[in-house]
Amino acid sequence: MALRFTTAGESHGPGLVAIVEGLPAGLELAPQDIDADLARRQLGHGRGGRMKIEKDAASVTSGVRHGRTLGSPVALQIQNRDYANWEERMNPWPVDADVDEVHLPRPGHADLAGVQKYGFTDVRNVLERASARETAARVGAGALAKSFLRALGVEVRSHVTRIASVTAPPRGADLSVADFEGVDASPVRCLDPDASDAMVQEINDMRKANESLGGTFEVVAFGVVPGLGSHVSWEERLDGRLAGAVMSIQSMKGVGIGEGFELAAKRGSQAHDEIFYSEGRGYFRESNHAGGLEGGMTTGDPVIVQGAMKPLPTLTKPLRSVDIETKEPAAALRERTDSCTVPAGGVVGEAMVALVLGNAYREKFGGDHIDDVRAALDAYKTRIEWKH
């Protein structure tokens, strides 16, 4: 049994679609379970004018009846309200008007490689699908996975740890779900108030200088049982799956598990999580340098995945490029853009981590109905004497 998803849609087309397969029947859902995360994706200081147009909400067109999943694929549709301003340029069917082609690829975007690969003369045929607008569909799919995980006692959260030159103080291993209750109240979704203020100022300063900004976020999944994933083959190692999922997010350039690259600078005695046992707790660790994953499997500690996002490639002061029709030097395409989307990137990261973990639970515990999944999970917890 696998939990999988696919998305469709272009940035300025009629809308986005997500189809999620593999959810068990009987899982309780409400519209807010999906729409709340779609709204969270639109948060963050540094967002552009597009967020004032789009008020994302999902329309469920299959797989759910009277608030419960049916076990069949769940289909979500998210309207692009901005399509009203792009109907001639992005209509699926031929139009009478002359629509100008775009010939100015942006450094750092999919534009040039895409037109070369697919043989297009119009960069818009690439940039519309490559746009991070697609992540709204991923967040919708991830919200379903989060609802499934929540029914099994797992909560997935995220926070921003860096924007450009401003880094938040590191958090300890005692980070809990409760610590995230106010994270969305921060304009940059940072847990540290002083760092949050400094990040906002950094965005303001760089926006005045016509710059975009990148940064890092951290996704934490609480309540994950030990033993998801496997050491027996490379494609079953869960850390590899999580890394691939997060790297697939637009503008991502780095992924770390646990302390990630910082572990490379530590001694072995400082890098690993010693194992203890007590009658009340069973096996436990007092640190979590490994981010809840050892040997490609979950350990029972919180799963921690870091994502590093580059600055956005659409700049208000465009970089140098080449006109692909004339081959002459030219400024890159300039369109409406954001200054910083790292806070939104964390929400997308939550979705991708939840989809991977949800699939791991489905693979291990199966079950046609959510009660079957819970029964199999409870039996497993009893067998391994997991007391968390």
Mention every residue, 6+ apart, whose C-beta is less than 8 A from residue 130: 109, 110, 111, 114, 250
Can you tell me the distance from the alpha carbon of 29 to that of 93, in angstroms, rounded to the nearest whole number? 36
Can you tell me the distance from the alpha carbon of 354 to that of 246, in angstroms, rounded to the nearest whole number? 11
Amino acid 387: pLDDT: 82
The Cβ-side half-sphere exposure at 132, using a 13 Å CA radius, reads 28
Q: CB 88: neighbour CB atoms within 10 A?
A: 11
Q: Which residue has the tokens 């119009």?
A: 122
Q: Which domains does the chain have, with CATH numbers?
A: 4-384 (3.60.150.10)
Q: Which residue has the tokens 């997010």?
A: 249
Can you tell me the distance from the alpha carbon of 283 to that of 322, in angstroms, rounded to the nearest whole number? 60
Can you tell me the distance from the alpha carbon of 167 to that of 160, in angstroms, rounded to the nearest whole number? 9
Amino acid 51: pLDDT: 57
Selection from 230, 250, 242, 260 nearest residue 353 by Cα: 242
Per-residue pLDDT of the chain (388 residues; tens, 9 = 90+): 899 999 999 999 999 999 999 999 999 999 999 999 999 999 889 776 555 566 899 999 999 999 999 999 999 999 999 999 999 999 999 999 999 999 999 999 999 999 999 999 999 999 999 999 999 999 999 999 999 999 999 999 999 999 999 999 998 778 899 999 999 999 999 999 999 999 999 999 999 999 999 999 999 999 999 999 999 999 999 999 999 999 999 999 999 999 999 999 999 999 999 999 999 999 999 999 999 999 999 999 999 999 999 999 988 889 999 999 999 999 999 877 789 999 999 999 999 999 999 999 999 999 999 999 999 999 999 999 998 7
Backbone angles phi, psi at 65, to 5 degrees: -135, 125
> For residues 305 and 257, is the Cβ–Cβ distance under 8 A?
yes
Q: Which amino acid is at 213?
A: L
CA angle 221, 226, 227 (to 5 degrees): 115
376: Cα separation from own chain's centroid: 28
Q: Which amino acid is at 97?
A: A
Q: Are strands 297-298 and 293-294 parallel, antiparallel or unpaired?
A: antiparallel
Selection from 37, 103, 34, 42 nearest residue 74 by Cα: 34
Amino acid 335: pLDDT: 79
Can you tell me the distance from the alpha carbon of 351 to that of 357, in angstroms, rounded to the nearest whole number? 10
Tokens standing for 350?
């939550």
Amino acid 171: pLDDT: 83
Q: List residues bridging with 215 in a β-sheet.
A: 163, 309
Can you tell me the distance from the alpha carbon of 291 to that of 305, in angstroms, rounded to the nearest whole number? 7
Q: Which amino acid is at 176?
A: S
Amino acid 48: pLDDT: 66
> For residues 368 and 214, is the Cβ–Cβ distance under 8 A?
no
Q: Are strands 293-294 and 303-309 parallel, antiparallel or unpaired?
A: unpaired
> For residues 143 and 356, is the Cβ–Cβ distance under 8 A?
no
